[in-house]
Amino acid sequence: MRIKFLCLFILCSEIVIFVDGLMANNTGVCVVPRSVQKTRTKKYKTRINKYCGARKCLVTKTKTETYKVTKNESVCCEGWKYDSNSDICSPYCSMGCNGGRCVEPEVCQCDPPAFLDPKHKNTCVTPTCEPPCENGICVGFNMCTCSEGYTNMNGKCKPKCENCANGECISPDNCECHNGYIKTDGVCNPACVGCENGVCTAPNTCKCNEGFIKNDTNNNCYKPCPKNCKRCDIDGICQDGLCE
Ligand SMILES: *[C@@H]1O[C@H](CO)[C@@H](O)[C@H](O)[C@H]1NC(C)=O
Ligand SMILES: *[C@@H]1O[C@H](CO)[C@@H](O)[C@H](O)[C@H]1NC(C)=O
Ligand SMILES: *[C@@H]1O[C@H](CO)[C@@H](O)[C@H](O)[C@H]1NC(C)=O
């Protein structure tokens, strides 16, 4: 049955190839019964018109007769072709697979980022991105997938940084602080000259701690000397009237 069906194809001889090495359990291998005609000679006895005594004589003659034997054989299934180089059945794509591989009968597979053209199932197309993807790969029409360490922002792959407030992420996990900021403990903090006993709240903006006032000469904060006191120590405690 199977053979008759296969032989309806013009390429019958190409499709039906019997190979001993094919394992029945391999992909693309089908086991089919095949009838072969054989001949053998058979002896038989017959009477001839000659008398041996009262009866006709019996002589032994031979004739050839044909008979059929059915054998199971491994063939490449429909849609598969024998590949003599590797001795396996390979899937066959009748239209070819431009830019890709035939992975199942009439099924092409493309290597990413190339994908199967929806209109021509035997053609792989490579997506195009304009402008080209920077720090990523083009996976579809104007669609970029960003490389590791980069994230998509407004269609562009920008480097990612853990915490880059007051700075600019110039490459993955590499934050460059804006002018007026300095990196302390991995984050960009405003930088101030001086600012002892105070908090630097913005570049060169020092807010003195409670009870301190600013020395505009060195930008440090100090405890002011109480009024009417001539001499104070560094903590603003009046030293007037104390023994030297
Ligand atoms: C296929 O069958 C053969 C013999 O029965 C066996 O040795 C082999 O391991 C099988 N292969 C697979 C992939 O099952
Ligand atoms: C052929 O295969 C069929 C189905 O697997 C089995 O029943 C039959 O015995 C096989 N015949 C021979 C000659 O091996
Ligand atoms: C202010 O800073 C200047 C320069 O360091 C210093 O000479 C001066 O004594 C400071 N003034 C006060 C009130 O601390």
Query: Looking at the CA of 27, which ligand is closest?
Result: 1
Torsion over CA: 28, 32, 38, 43 (sign) = positive
- Cα–Cα distance measured from residue 175 to residue 187, given in angstroms and rounded to the nearest whole number: 8
pLDDT greater than 70 at residue 32: yes
As for how many domains the chain has, the answer is: 4
Atom of ligand 1 nearest to the CA of 26: 13
pLDDT in tens, 206-239: 999 999 999 999 999 999 988 888 888 878 888 8
| 206 Cα to the center of ligand 3, angstroms | 16
**Are 88 and 1 part of one and the same domain?**
yes
Query: Looking at the CA of 33, which ligand is closest?
Result: 2
Ligand 3, atom 12: closest residue by C-alpha: 215
Q: Is residue 111 included in any domain, yes or no?
A: yes
Range of the domain at 4: 1-34+73-92
Which of 110, 100, 106, 35 is CA-nearest to residue 77? Answer: 106
- Cα–Cα distance measured from residue 109 to residue 128, given in angstroms and rounded to the nearest whole number: 19
pLDDT in tens, 149-158: 999 998 899 9
pLDDT greater than 90 at residue 23: no
Q: Is residue 86 included in any domain, yes or no?
A: yes
**Are 173 and 226 part of one and the same domain?**
no
Distance of CA 235 to the CA centre of its chain: 67
Residue with tokens 């405003």: 190
- Cα–Cα distance measured from residue 134 to residue 141, given in angstroms and rounded to the nearest whole number: 15
Phi then psi for residue 116, to 5 deg, are -70, 130
Ligand 2, atom 8: closest residue by C-alpha: 72
pLDDT in tens, 86-135: 889 999 999 999 999 999 999 999 998 899 998 998 999 999 999 999 99
Atom of ligand 1 nearest to the CA of 25: 1
Is pLDDT larger for residue 100 or for residue 242?
100
Q: Ligand 3 pocket, 151 CB below 6 A?
A: no
pLDDT at res. 82: 92
Q: Ligand 3 pocket, 222 CB below 6 A?
A: yes
| 70 Cα to the center of ligand 2, angstroms | 9
Average pLDDT value for residue range 66-88? 91
Q: Is residue 145 included in any domain, yes or no?
A: no
